[in-house]
Structure 1
Amino acid sequence: MPVAIPGGRDVRGTLDGDEDADAVVVACPPHPQHGGSRSDERLRAVSDALVGRAVACLRFDYGPWDEGRGEAADAENALAWARNRFDRVGLFGYSFGGAVALAAAERADPEPDAVSVLAPAPRAAGIDAEAALTALSAPLQVVYGERDETADWEPLVDLARERGAAVEAMPADHFFAGQSGRVGEAVGAFLAGRLADE
């Protein structure tokens, strides 16, 4: 289902799954200046895994490039849209989208019910993901590739471990080539488990 996210920027999304589901995950794509979009195969894999667990997924494209500030605002607006329609809301981001997700989650009121990030960098386009992760209290998962030489993931992984977050390593580079299904299952299981009706 196509979705237009309100908030003053041209932000479009696709809602996968049942729009009457109790829970949804908002999925933040990688860097738009490097081809990142809601069609990213890792976002699609996570969405497929969530929909298979009766959790909807909102994949969205950022509005016009705004040095990270606008992109974080886009994620906050997508979260607000989701909060108005679903009982429980999770947040996922890959690469640049991981930094965006952490920043948006930390600023959201209330915070998402669960957050998962894949191959995030501690800083991306003006976003301090390290500070956001430190301040975040929501259940958190960090998934990273052991051979990732693109994102400087070590500081975030160390911080996540210190705060007792779920941390999962995969034998992969930054792009998780050939492992999208495995990524989808790991992230989908974590988020669906935290968003289950209690």
Structure 2
Amino acid sequence: MTTVGIPGGRGVTASFDRPESASVVVACPPHPQYGGTRSDSRLEAVSDALAPDIGCLRFDYGTWDEGRGERVDAENALAWAGERADAVGLFGYSFGAAVALCAAADRDAVAEPSVLSVLAPPAGLTDHLDAVAALDAIDCPVQIVVGERDDTVDWGPVADRAAEQGHAVERLPADHHFVGQCGRIGQTVGPFLRDHLLPPESTV
């Protein structure tokens, strides 16, 4: 793992797991005002599930900007990873899920992800992050993972819209924090990202 700075003028720092990999997943942490950082256990679980052949860029947001700057942070991280990898995926948890969905939907962004997976996505946390509407503008494969006992965020509208569009929706027996479920998170998210980032194995 190496520590890197993400260009963009917002002082974004990231941990880059397995930087030598040809494929990379950018991971968006939960709400920074509630302690969300790149060291979040759910982000680390996804990174571990991608080893040994897919890298993971886990970043901290810059100064709090009600979702606007945080979305830019994700887009800048995607662009930075895209300059160094053959394929780039995107993951986000909670607030980071909304950030990831909106970043993936931005048609003007420098780089677009090849695949997107989000965990516990809130339907709306700020006026600048409409996760439900973002689904209408995303072209890549999408996986929505929710906790069936999650009453912290309103994930229902996101899961419903994703299901209507034919995206993968996975329900885990967990609350919003997925206590004791990190292994299951990795088992659910890792294979989905891997399937869309790694070339199929050649057959003889």
Scaled by the length of structure 1, the TM-score of the pair is 0.96
Describe how 1:108-187 pairs up with structure 2 within 5 A. 108-126=109-127, 127-187=129-189
CA contact (8 A) 2:78 2:111 kept: no
Q: CA deviation at 1:102?
A: 0.4
Q: Any idea what SS the aligned residue of 2:76 has? A: helix
Mapped to 2, the partners of 1:120 and 1:84 lie a distance apart of 28
Are the structure 2 counterparts of residues 110 and 59 from structure 1 closer, same or farther at C-alpha, using a change threshold of 3 Å? Answer: closer
Partner of 1:15: 16
Partner of 1:43: 43
Q: CA deviation at 1:111?
A: 2.1
Letter in 2 for 1:37: T
Per-residue CA deviation, residues 61-117 of structure 1 (Å, 9 max, x unaligned), is 000101100000000000000010000000000000000000111113542000000
Partner of 1:25: 25
Q: Gapped runs of 5+ residues in structure 1?
A: none
Per-residue CA deviation, residues 172-198 of structure 1 (Å, 9 max, x unaligned), is 000000001110121111001110125
Letter in 2 for 1:94: Y
Scaled by the length of structure 2, the TM-score of the pair is 0.94
Partner of 1:69: 68
1:105 correspondence with 2:98: no
Between the aligned residues of both structures, percent identity stands at 60
Letter in 1 for 2:39: S
CA contact (8 A) 2:82 2:111 kept: no
Mapped to 2, the partners of 1:109 and 1:133 lie a distance apart of 19
Q: Any idea what SS the aligned residue of 1:25 has? A: strand
Mapped to 2, the partners of 1:183 and 1:94 lie a distance apart of 11
1:94 correspondence with 2:96: no
Moved more, 131-140 or 5-14: 131-140
Mapped to 1, the partners of 2:110 and 2:137 lie a distance apart of 13
Q: Any idea what SS the aligned residue of 2:25 has? A: strand
Letter in 2 for 1:189: P
Mapped to 1, the partners of 2:3 and 2:64 lie a distance apart of 21
Q: Gapped runs of 5+ residues in structure 2?
A: none
Letter in 2 for 1:12: T
Q: How many residues align?
A: 196
